[in-house]
Structure formats: structure tokens, C-alpha cells
Amino acid sequence: MPAAKSRLSDFLPYLMSVTTNAVSDVVAQQYQARFGLKIPEWRVMAVLGDAGALTQRRLVSSTRMDKVAVNRACKALEERGLVRRSPNDRDGRSHHLELTSAGQQMHGEIMPLALDIEQRLFAALTAQERKDFKATLARINEQVRVLESAGAADRDDQA
């Protein structure tokens, strides 16, 4: 008798998580081997390279990583001279983080590699499928924001 199909194999959040982890592992192997970067460090560098100087709180929000992971990544990058801290004139309790010139140079070297990895990972999809996939991910992310906002409102109502 064939084994019953697991409901977990039909649970989209699980499938997304497993796929995301698999993709991250492929990418991480490349970044670790060539640049000595762990996944959290690369994510922080990628966001700073794209957005410019940000507070650690904004990095947590932008990367969707735990604040401890962001803190460790920032510290490691700072120790390597890839990120620098500067005072936050708007909030004396925090600071801005930004790529140094060495960090910008490394970011510039990583991006072609990242784009090559993306091309190889998604080679099984047509150009239209990749476009549709990006649009679908954007819609899912927007729905997450809606649900998070609703959850925050519910918590405020209960307080």
C-alpha cells in the first residue's frame, strides 16, 4: 500500500521555507568561499548597498532577520572594515550603519556573482515565468504586511 501523502507537502509556507533555505544554501556556499561572508552578513551588505545608511532597527525590518543576527552581522562586518557606524542625529540612542569604501567594493564584486547565481537558479523558468514569480512574491509580501498590520491592531485593541 502506498504511503499516505503528507499534508505538510501541500502546506505552501513550509514549501516556501524549504525552498528559500535551499536557495540560501547555494548562494551562501558561493559567498562564503569567495568572500568569507555568512548569509546574515551578505544580507546586511546587500541592503546597505542598495539603500545606503540605515539604523540597525531598519536593517532588522528590511532583512526580516532577528535583531541578534543583524547585530552579529553588523559587528563582524565592522570588524572587517566593510561597515562603519555614525551617529544618528534624529535619535541619539541609535546610529547609522553604512558600507565603507572596502564594503562598496566588495558589494560591487558580489553583485555580478549574485546575478549569475540567480540566472542559474531560475534557468528552468521562462522570462515570463520569472516576471510572474516576482509579481507573485510581491503580492504575498504585501499580504504579509496586511496581516501584520491587522495583528498589531488586534494587539492594540486588547491592551
Residue pLDDT, tens place only, 8-42: 888 999 999 999 999 989 988 999 999 999 999 99
- Is 100:84 a contact under the CB 8 Å cutoff? yes
pTM to 2 decimal places: 0.80
pLDDT score for 92: 72
Q: In what order do the strands lie in the sheet with 95-99?
A: 54-55, 95-99, 83-87
pLDDT score for 1: 52
Residues of the chain below pLDDT 50: none
Measured between alpha carbons, how far is 58 from 64 in angstroms, rounded to an integer?
A: 10
* Residue 3, CB-side half-sphere exposure with 13 Å CA sphere: 4
pLDDT score for 124: 95
